[in-house]
Amino acid sequence: MRATTSRKRKRRDSYPSSPDGILTLKDGGAKSRRFFSRMRIALGLEYDGAPFHGWQSQADRSGVQDALERALAAIAGARTPTVAAGRTDAGVHATLQVAHFDTDAARPDTAWVRGVNAFLPGSMAVRWALTIGAEFHARFAATGRHYTYLLLDRPVRPALLYQRVGWYHRPLAVEAMRAAAAALLGKHDFSAFRAAECQAKSPTKTLDRIDIAREDDVIRFDFHADAFLQHMVRNVVGALVYVGNGRQAPSWIAELLESRDRTRGAPTFGARGLYLTGIDYPQHWNLPPTVVPLSIPRC
């Protein structure tokens, strides 16, 4: 009995796992195939970007991805790699980020929400979870992305909203910025607003929304595009500030866009005021809400 039990244990422990969800077993020299269920789960997330060094996993485990994967592993009982719709920079927030992961762990969707949230830091939360088809991909299935930038323009720097808004020390001309921003709408080469380290294959993107509005001493910039280059929104905001403070005429934005030269642009504006507010997907995925408009925080 002991020898038989030992042999069984050894065989069970050596079962190979494969990505396609197939186990190949040997029984008396004959091969048989057993299938197990490997599920793909989509998640909707929100997070305060201030405590993290961006979405992407870091060597010191300080990325949003690191915190999420630690919490998922606690529920799944195994390492659980994730893929996000967009890799936000350090300090950038999200009212709705979408990610997916694959797992063999059979859990109710509520476990991937309340259970995972129990292991996440207070600055991050799963809003919803959904078991979805294996063809879904958080990044490659996305058809559009939404960002909002909040800019406080007053003489005194923020304290309570220090990590929540960008800041400029005097009032900016919103109408001039609106006029300038119109030149950016449509399909363009946005190289003049692209970070030097950007890894996007093409600088050509279609920007179909830039709304600029003032609410008291906060200026709100709402953007929508098929995709964004690294630092694109923050570089656009920086350039528009040059127009709003009178340093450049509204026509300068069109000239800068046409130049495709990042060195001619304004400095990259700070990450604190930037929020990823949603991801667009085709309706056939039947996802819960993937866009959560930002409400301006008050102090």
**pLDDT tens digits, residue range 36-83?**
578 999 999 999 999 999 999 999 999 999 999 999 999 999 999 999
Question: How many CB atoms within 10 Å of residue 256?
Answer: 24
Task: List, in order, residues 6 or more apart from 58 with CB less than 8 Å away.
Answer: 66
pLDDT at 223 over 90: yes
Note the pLDDT tens digit of each residue in 77-133.
999 999 999 999 999 999 999 999 999 999 998 999 999 999 999 999 999 999 999
Q: In 3-state terms, what secondary structure has residue 72? A: helix
Predicted local confidence at residue 30, as pLDDT = 43
% of the chain surpassing 90 pLDDT:
84
Q: What is the pLDDT of residues 226-268, one digit of tens each?
A: 999 999 999 999 999 999 999 999 999 999 999 999 999 999 9
Amino acid at site 107: R
| pLDDT exceeds cutoff 50 at 11 | no
Give pLDDT, residue 110. Answer: 92
Whether residue 243 contacts residue 180, with contact meaning beta carbons closer than 8 Å, is answered with yes
Return the beta strands (E) in the chain as ranges: 22-27, 30-35, 39-47, 82-84, 93-103, 124-132, 144-153, 166-168, 186-189, 204-215, 218-225, 274-280
In this structure, are residues 154 and 217 in contact, taking their beta carbons and an 8 Å threshold?
A: yes
Local structure of 243: helix, strand or coil: helix
CA 190/CA 228 separation, integer angstroms: 9
Cα distance between residue 134 and residue 285, in whole Å: 11
Rounded to whole angstroms, how far apart are CA atoms 228 and 164?
21
- Cα 227–Cα 228–Cα 231 angle in degrees, nearest 5: 165
- Measure CA of the first residue to CA of the last residue in the chain; give whole Å: 72
Q: Which of 296, 295, 294, 290 is nearest to 278 (CA)?
A: 290
Kindly indicate the confidence band of residue 297, based on its pLDDT and cuts at 50, 70 and 90: confident
Q: What length is written for the chain?
A: 299
Question: Which residue of the set 89, 189, 208, 222 is catalytic?
Answer: 89
What are the structural domains, with CATH classification, of the chain?
39-132 (3.30.70.580), 144-282 (3.30.70.660)
Percent over 70 (pLDDT), the chain: 87
Angle in degrees, CA 195, 200, 205, rounded to 5: 90
Helix (H, G, I), strand (E, B) or coil at 152: strand
Spatial neighbors of 255 by CB under 8 A, at least 6 apart, are none
Please indicate whether residue 89 is annotated as part of the active site.
yes
Q: DSSP secondary structure string, 173-235?
A: -HHHHHHHHGGG-EEEE-GGG--TT---S-SEEEEEEEEEEEETTEEEEEEEES---TTHHHH
* Confidence at residue 82, expressed as pLDDT on a 0 to 100 scale: 98
Query: Is the pLDDT assigned to residue 180 strictly greater than 60?
Result: yes
Per-chain mean pLDDT for the chain:
89
Is this structure's pTM higher than 0.75?
yes
Angle at 248 (CA atoms; ends 246, 251), nearest 5 degrees: 120
Taking alpha carbons only, the member of 288, 289, 293 closest to residue 275 is: 293
